[in-house]
A and B are shown apart, each in its own frame.
Chain A
Amino acid sequence: MLRGVILCVFFLMLTQNVYSKGIGAQFSGFATLGATYSDSDELKLRTDLLNNAHSGLTLKNDSNIGLQVNLDIATKWDAVGQLVLQDRIKKSAGDYLELAFIRYRPNRYWSLRAGRVNSDLYYLSEYQYVGYAYLWSQPPNEFYSPATSAANFDGFDIEYKNNVGDGFFKIRMGYGATHPELGGIAGQFAFSLENFSALSASYQIGNWLLRATHSQANLENLKSPFISTSVLIFSQVPSSLWPASLDVLEDIDISGKSTAYDALGLSYDGNIWLFHSEIGVSKNDWLALSSSITAYTTLGYIQDELTYFVSLSGIKNRHKLVTYDSPMLDPNLPVELREYVNSVSDGLTSLLNGRAARQATISLGVKYDFRQNMALKFQVDHSNISPRGSALWKVTNSSIQTSRHKVNTFSLSLSMLF
């Protein structure tokens, strides 16, 4: 789809004969060298559902490097490409490409973009990997780790902006598709967010920024060896042995399922105090993704080059945790058949125990802006993970899913622009 959109736009440009000026290119970049230490061997830290998980001391969780090119193509036309190298689960070139769009600005109020564009669904969604540009060493995991799967999409968007009252108003509507490959329950799995549509609006007045977003998509094209195998097995289990298997088959089939996400954010960016708060509500009707409500609040205090901050964040399931009746097997059945059906049931239990994120985190940290283009950040997170609520972590042993866990994470990062 991305190629098709870009070809269409280039064709449009050619027909309009817009190459009146030479193409000018500007290169820029950003990088973060981030060390994290997480003190749980059973729950591996995953700061981004698109990335691999690591516990202990590692540079892999938070380090990245981004390269960007801005092209001035012609009057009213420009293009942006951005590549961010990080520890992605899927390592194809397309998975490192954050932005690749062409933009047309017919006048100062309107702009249209086509290609791979950012979704603008939450406060950091457009620059989550630019550590220099925000306060945290690790943005609140409860809010930002799940959200990255729709941080960009292939398609187009249209934006309108203008001064309204004493403030500045911006609204953007986008449509397209994205194909995230996530780590989480059932190992790695990929799916498509088709007919992805996003609407975001923001109003900035003085140091205050208020933003609201809505997005929705159809879920399709599941690629998960674990879930596919499970579906195959469920379909072979006679419903007379396990009546609930019919419900499971219906709920675990991704076709016809959809997802929706709404978020509201408020931030204050003053010279002494900082405040950021967002709340997000997701609605999913596919078994593997839990509907959740997530929120965080961060308060920062600036003293010369240092900014101290404290943050509270949490995520919980919106609905009662899903359970299915276990198979009631006749003891006279062959042992092999009983073991087979029970192993399928155990696999499903593990899936259900790991699908929801239910946890809260308190964070303390400091950001040191020691140079014009560099910042050093340190942060300590204490996370309290409820039973059957470890979806944001990579669980090394499914037997621990039903117990409560407390994990401390220490992050030290150096962020820079170049």
Chain B
Amino acid sequence: MKFILLCLILTSLYSIHTHAIVVVVSKDSNINSLTKRQVVDIYMGRFNTFPNGENVSPIDLPPQSTLKNQFYMQLLQKSEKKVNSYWARLLFSGSAKPPTIVKSVDDIISRIIENNEMMAYIPESEVRQGVKVVFKFVQN
């Protein structure tokens, strides 16, 4: 019983420290929601448009940022190392270009607000005016 209680406490603490991540676009975008598979398709360079055919430019955070690691683990169950290797293959085969890297969540939001083609992941707590949530990871 004590063990189960300890597990529950640890799980609660873990979820407090793990950011709830959402995928956002500009509030002026025609996109209102995306499925996880559609987010995967865009972040893995399979398609360079939203499902409605409008161009999309995904945004990424710098290497080894905690949020980036969490995003890719939740989206693909893959480490950043794996994702880097995957993108090296796609880039140098001429198939696709990797997402644009910006320095911070603030930079992400600035880019999103000024460009309808941009799409990015941010902590749910950072959602503010000018952006629209189109996908949210289901917390287990």
Which residues does A use to contact B, with CB under 8 Å? 26, 28, 30, 66, 68, 70, 75, 80, 82, 99, 101, 103, 105, 107-108, 117-118, 126-127, 129-130, 132-134, 161, 163, 168, 269, 271, 305, 369, 372-373, 417
Asked if B103 CB lies within 8 Å of chain A CBs, one says: no
B93 partner residues in chain A, CB cutoff 8 A: 118, 126-127
Interface of A is mostly: strand
The one of B48, B63, B80, B97 that contacts A26, using a Cβ cutoff of 8 Å: B97
The one of B46, B49, B84 that contacts A161, using a Cβ cutoff of 8 Å: B46
B101 CB to closest chain A CB, in angstroms? 12
A70 CB to closest chain B CB, in angstroms? 6
Q: Which residue of chain B is the closest to A78 with respect to CB atoms?
A: B97
B91→A68 contact, CB < 8 A: yes
Question: Closest 9 interchain pairs by CB?
Answer: A126-B93, A80-B94, A133-B88, A108-B49, A372-B63, A108-B47, A133-B89, A130-B92, A127-B92
Query: Assuming A75-B55, A118-B94, A271-B79, is B88 touching A168 (CB within 8 A)?
Result: no
A132→B46 contact, CB < 8 A: no
Q: Mark B112-132, 1 if CB is under 8 A from A, else 0.
A: 000000000000000000000
B82→A269 contact, CB < 8 A: yes
Q: Complex: how many Å from CA A68 to CA B63?
A: 21
Asked if B37 CB lies within 8 Å of chain A CBs, one says: yes
B46 partner residues in chain A, CB cutoff 8 A: 161, 168
Query: Assuming A372-B63, A417-B88, is B82 touching A163 (CB within 8 A)?
Result: no
B53→A126 contact, CB < 8 A: no
Number of interface residues of B (CB under 8 A): 27
A20 CB to closest chain B CB, in angstroms? 12
A133 partner residues in chain B, CB cutoff 8 A: 85, 88-89, 92
B80 partner residues in chain A, CB cutoff 8 A: 372
Q: Complex: how many Å from CA A132 to CA B79?
A: 16
Asked if B30 CB lies within 8 Å of chain A CBs, one says: no
The one of A70, A107, A130, A372 that contacts B97, using a Cβ cutoff of 8 Å: A70
Q: Which residue of chain B is the closest to A126 with respect to CB atoms?
A: B93
B85 partner residues in chain A, CB cutoff 8 A: 132-134
Interface residues of B in 23-73 (CB under 8 A from A): 37, 41, 46-49, 51, 53, 55, 63-64
B78→A126 contact, CB < 8 A: no
The one of B53, B63, B81, B89 that contacts A127, using a Cβ cutoff of 8 Å: B89
A127→B84 contact, CB < 8 A: no
Q: Complex: how many Å from CA A161 to CA B47?
A: 9
A28→B41 contact, CB < 8 A: no
A130→B47 contact, CB < 8 A: no
A99→B49 contact, CB < 8 A: no
B12 partner residues in chain A, CB cutoff 8 A: none
Q: Complex: how many Å from CA A99 to CA B78?
A: 29
B111 CB to closest chain A CB, in angstroms? 15
B91 partner residues in chain A, CB cutoff 8 A: 28, 68, 70
A101 partner residues in chain B, CB cutoff 8 A: 94
Q: Which residue of chain A is the closest to B64 with respect to CB atoms?
A: A372
Query: Assuming A80-B94, A108-B48, A108-B53, is B89 touching A271 (CB within 8 A)?
Result: no
Query: Assuming A99-B94, A163-B41, is B53 touching A107 (CB within 8 A)?
Result: yes
A417 partner residues in chain B, CB cutoff 8 A: 84, 88
Query: Assuming A163-B41, A168-B46, A271-B77, is B88 touching A130 (CB within 8 A)?
Result: yes
Q: Complex: how many Å from CA A126 to CA B77?
A: 25
Asked if B95 CB lies within 8 Å of chain A CBs, one says: yes
